[in-house]
Amino acid sequence: MNAIVPISEFRGGATSAVGRADAPAIQIERLTKRFPGVAGAVLDDVSLTIDRGDIYGIIGRSGAGKSTLVRCINALERPSAGRVLVSGREVTNLYGRALRTARRDIGMIFQHFNVLSSSTVAGNVALPFKVAGLSRAEIARRIPPLLELVGLAHKADAYPSELSGGQKQRVGIARALALNPSVLLCDEATSALDPETTEQILALLRDINRKLGLTIVLITHEMHVVRDIATRVAVLDHGRLVEEGATFDVLAFPKSKVARSFLSGLVAHELPPVVASQLLPEPVADSDPVLRIVFTGEAAHEPIVAALVTQFQLQPNILHGRIDYVAERPLGVLTLVAGGAGAKLPDLLSYLASLGLTVEVIGHAVRSAVTRRHSAAG
């Protein structure tokens, strides 16, 4: 079995990229991109810093500007304003040979794999080495460890027509890693894969990040991908950066309405529309407050609802909720009607806060006739 060729061996000579080891992996400064004939900016004054070794998710709906942003990072698109630095070196002002040299530090994989059907697996992985001018002997030495790394050592002589979608993406990953980049860009890299294969590719990317210290940037609209693998996340909406931070914090405590709505399929921050439409912004006669409670850590497993019933004689009506795991940390969101809270509401909120929970009153619900009868009987 071939050992993985050390990073230090890849760095140097013909495959060396220019940059500063003490600089962030990627620095995006006030990036704006406009296209002729398109109203408005596709990217509008976006600034981001991505640290070395991060797995960084960039999410947003279709048309948010995600793919344009990643194409600006490797200078496939030129910004209308602003700049991009990779390892401390600006790439937005590079052309020709200088740009080709800088791109060796930036690998990229794509949604539809982009493998050459006429070349074998080994032949596809060899392409970057040939472009870099390595000898046949050196190429032959470097290919086996890469195939071993992505789990395709037994497929070196196979053609793409003989591979599954997941195997084709593994070829793309091996090819992207050929010149030992410090950054790997993934543009919707799992969107064409089934759920099981997606999990396998995410596990591979996580393993590569850990073994090689590689910075990975994920462009995706799949929220579970970000939840399962990203250490930090940025949310784009109509070309603007609306939120950025540690993945757990953004998923648990989204600050913008856009992020909260976009993440609702993954974390239950938003009520289903049919339920939300019945909430009132202010209390009225015979109404009760509606609470959104965010549970993190061990609190996600505590019997909070039972405690509210016993300590505050609450008559809770659960409207919506779920528990997920983000980076192996539990995250729960529960929305309930605090039936019978009345004047006890301030004490109830203080009690929940004392448990380390985040709670907010998101509206008010008029009691049903059944609830009113139950309250009167009590």
Average pLDDT over residues 162-176: 94
- Rounded Cα gap, residues 227 and 59, in angstroms: 11
Query: 240 and 327 share a domain?
Result: no
Model pLDDT, residue 259: 81
Residue 270 has pLDDT above 80, yes or no: no
- For residue 214, what is the DSSP state? -
Q: Which long-range contacts (CB under 8 A, 24 or more apart) does 62-67 make?
A: 62/221, 63/238, 64/236, 64/237, 64/238, 64/239, 65/33, 65/236, 65/238, 65/239, 66/187, 66/219, 66/220, 66/221, 66/236, 67/187, 67/188, 67/219
- Residue type at position 108: M
Give the residue, 301 or 137, on which the prediction is more confident.
137
3-state secondary structure of 43: strand
Residue whose pair of structure tokens reads 């909720």 in the numeric block: 321
Query: 112 and 242 share a domain?
Result: yes
Query: 278 and 302 share a domain?
Result: yes
Q: Band the pLDDT of 347: cuts 50, 70, 90.
A: very high
Which of 123-132, 138-147, 281-290, 298-307 shows the lowest per-residue confidence on average (mean pLDDT)? Answer: 298-307
Residue 221 placed within a domain: yes
Nearest to 8 by CA among 125, 141, 16, 89: 16
Label residues 51-78 b or e (16+ Cβ within 10 Å = b): ebbbbbbbbbeeebbbbbbbbbbbbebe
Model pLDDT, residue 159: 95
Model pLDDT, residue 6: 46
Structural domain range at position 38: 7-262
Query: 190 and 223 share a domain?
Result: yes
Residue 308 placed within a domain: yes
Model pLDDT, residue 355: 86
Give the residue, 15 or 358, on which the prediction is more confident.
358
Residue 5 has pLDDT above 80, yes or no: no
Q: Band the pLDDT of 370: cuts 50, 70, 90.
A: very low
pLDDT > 70 fraction of the chain, expressed in percent and rounded: 90
pLDDT > 90 fraction of the chain, expressed in percent and rounded: 58
- Rounded Cα gap, residues 371 and 378, in angstroms: 11
- Residue type at position 342: G
Model pLDDT, residue 268: 64
Identify the CATH number of the domain in which residue 148 sits. Answer: 3.40.50.300
Residue 267 placed within a domain: no
Residue 160 has pLDDT above 80, yes or no: yes
Model pLDDT, residue 7: 41
- Residue type at position 41: A
Give the residue, 373 or 213, on which the prediction is more confident.
213
Residue 168 has pLDDT above 90, yes or no: yes
Model pLDDT, residue 85: 95
Whole-angstrom Cα Rg for the chain:
25
For the chain, list the strands marked E by DSSP.
Answer: 26-33, 43-50, 55-59, 81-86, 89-90, 106-110, 183-187, 215-220, 232-237, 240-246, 287-296, 315-326, 329-339, 358-366
Query: 81 and 20 share a domain?
Result: yes
Query: 229 and 289 share a domain?
Result: no
Look over the chain and give the mean of its residue pLDDT values, rounded to a whole number: 86
Residue whose pair of structure tokens reads 């060796």 in the numeric block: 104
Residue 268 placed within a domain: no
Residue 40 has pLDDT above 60, yes or no: yes
91 contacts 99 by C-beta, under 8 angstroms:
yes
Residue 1 placed within a domain: no
* Kind plus residue range of the DSSP H or E element containing 115: none
Query: 191 and 304 share a domain?
Result: no
Query: How would you list the strands of the sheet with 287-296, edge to edge?
Result: 315-326, 329-339, 287-296, 358-366
Average pLDDT over residues 217-244: 91
Average pLDDT over residues 194-217: 92
Average pLDDT over residues 282-302: 85
Report the domain count for the chain. 2
Query: 161 and 106 share a domain?
Result: yes
Residue whose pair of structure tokens reads 């060899």 in the numeric block: 126
Q: At which of 241, 262, 283 does a domain end?
A: 262
